[in-house]
Structures are given as C-alpha cells and as structure tokens.
C-alpha cells in the first residue's frame, strides 16, 4: 500500500468483527510500531496486547463507565449543541463520533485485540503516540481497523492492576488502541483544510498555500 493511501485512509474504525487477528499480522504491526522515534532514542516504552476474554471482561465495565462520564462532562456542551442544531456539519461529526465510540463501549469485549502503550517517567507521551500511530498505519496496510482511545487513562490505577503493571517503576499507560477487521469501508477522513489551521512565521499569518480538497488521491 502506498504511504499516502495509508495516511489518508487510516481513520478511527471502531466497528469491527470478532474475528481474531493472526499472530503474523500482529507481529508485523508491532514491528512497525517500534520503528517510531522516541526522545533520545531511549525506547522507554512497553506495549501490552490484550486478547484474553477474561481480561477484556474486567476492562469492559470500566470503559463503559468512563465513556458515560465523558459524554456527561467533557463532551456535554458539544453534544447539547449538536442535538440543538443537528443540521450543522460540526454537529453531524460530533454525533457520528459519539455513535461510533458508544458502539465500542457497548461491544468492548467483542473486539478481538487491544494494544496498550506505556512510557516510563514520561507523562508527555511524545515518545509513545508515534509508536501507537505507526501500529495503526501498519494495521491499515493489513486491512485491520483501529482506534485510539484515552478514556481508560482516567482509571489508570484500576487498569494497571488488571494488567499487572508494577506500580513502583514509573510506567504510565498513555493510550489504548482497539484492533479488528472492520465492518465498514475505508475512506478519506474529512478535515478542516490545512491552510485553515496553519500559519507561517507568525500566529494568524497566511500559510502561503491552499488545499480546499484533499491532495490525495
């Protein structure tokens, strides 16, 4: 797969089938993950793959609870606004995200694989997110859908206990990626054009190019 196809079509694919992901596919995904950069090339990261139904059964209820808190707090204003003006593009996007994220919450235990990312003594996560995103891009090339979710971070202590993470070594869980074969179709994600969110030399100054339509395909 061409790099640009992967970059443009790797979007959150939360609705997946229960079919397991073969071990050689997992190995290729993880081998691509560790090619990511890390500060000082220290590779102070660990990854934990979860496919055991018993472990998923412990995480599912925590995930659902965290999502319901999120809808009622962080996303409350945006959801209220979306319900008030459902015809706006922004509202449609918000409601689409909610529906898809809630699907993952409702079907947490059915998703075949989760990948947790940890960093030691690095709360910024700058050394782990590129690795998780590499895994998501490599998964895309294998036809595997992924999504990055942060909500389990709100229950860090409980999650570390369930996963058996030693608490005296300074490991932080920074994100969790769901993986599975998608039920939907791949497509280019809709985004605000780059020229609308980019400046040149000074905040607010025109970036010098325009791209009203995606530059791929």
Under the binding rule (CB under 8 A), the answer on residue 83 touching its own copies is no
Residue 213 to residues 105, 184, 189, Cα–Cα distance (Å): 33, 23, 11
Site for its own copies in 141-160 (CB under 8 A): 141, 147-148, 150
Under the binding rule (CB under 8 A), the answer on residue 31 touching its own copies is yes
- Applying CB under 8 A, the span of 61-69, 103-111, 178-186, 203-211 interacting with its own copies comes to 203-211
- Applying CB under 8 A, the span of 61-69, 104-112, 185-193 interacting with its own copies comes to 185-193
Under the binding rule (CB under 8 A), the answer on residue 119 touching its own copies is no
Shortest approach of its own copies to residue 107 CB, angstroms?
19
Under the binding rule (CB under 8 A), the answer on residue 68 touching its own copies is no
Alpha-carbon gap, residue 206 to 210, rounded angstroms:
10
50 contacts 159 by C-beta, under 8 angstroms? no
Residue 3 to residues 7, 9, 129, 135, 195, Cα–Cα distance (Å): 6, 10, 19, 14, 22
Under the binding rule (CB under 8 A), the answer on residue 28 touching its own copies is yes
Nearer to its own copies, 18 or 20 (CB): 20
Query: Could you say which of 81, 110, 130, 186 contacts its own copies (CB under 8 A)?
Result: 130
DSSP string covering 11-65: -B---B-SPPPPHHHHHHHHHHHTTS--GGG---EEEEEE--HHHHHHHHHHHHH
Shortest approach of its own copies to residue 158 CB, angstroms?
14
Under the binding rule (CB under 8 A), the answer on residue 85 touching its own copies is no
207 contacts 198 by C-beta, under 8 angstroms? yes
Under the binding rule (CB under 8 A), the answer on residue 95 touching its own copies is no
Eight-state DSSP code of residue 205: S
Under the binding rule (CB under 8 A), the answer on residue 69 touching its own copies is no
Under the binding rule (CB under 8 A), the answer on residue 124 touching its own copies is yes
Residues 6+ apart with CB under 8 A from 58: 162
Alpha-carbon gap, residue 36 to 22, rounded angstroms:
23
Shortest approach of its own copies to residue 65 CB, angstroms?
18
Strands 145-149 and 45-50: unpaired
- Applying CB under 8 A, the span of 61-69, 104-112, 140-148, 178-186 interacting with its own copies comes to 140-148
């Amino acid at each position: 797969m061409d790099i640009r196809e992967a970059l443009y079509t790797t979007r959150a694919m939360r609705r997946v089938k229960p079919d397991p992901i073969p071990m050689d596919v997992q190995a290729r995904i993880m081998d691509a993950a560790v090619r990511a950069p890390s500060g000082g090339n220290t590779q102070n990261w660990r990854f934990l793959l979860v496919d055991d139904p018993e472990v998923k059964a412990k995480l599912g209820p925590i995930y659902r609870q965290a999502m319901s808190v999120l809808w009622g707090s962080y996303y409350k204003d945006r959801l209220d606004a979306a319900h008030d003006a459902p015809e706006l593009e922004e509202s449609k996007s918000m409601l689409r995200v909610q529906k898809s994220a809630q699907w993952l919450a409702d079907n947490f235990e059915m998703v075949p694989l989760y990948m947790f990312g940890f960093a030691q003594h690095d709360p910024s996560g700058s050394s782990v997110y590129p690795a998780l995103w590499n895994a998501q891009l490599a998964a895309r090339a294998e036809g595997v859908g992924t999504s990055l979710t942060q909500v389990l971070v709100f229950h860090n202590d409980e999650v570390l206990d369930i996963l058996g993470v030693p608490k005296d070594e300074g490991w932080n869980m920074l994100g969790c990626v769901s993986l599975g074969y998608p039920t939907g179709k791949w497509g280019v994600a809709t985004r605000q054009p780059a020229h609308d969110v980019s400046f040149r030399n000074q905040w607010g100054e025109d970036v010098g190019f325009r791209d009203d339509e995606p530059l791929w395909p």
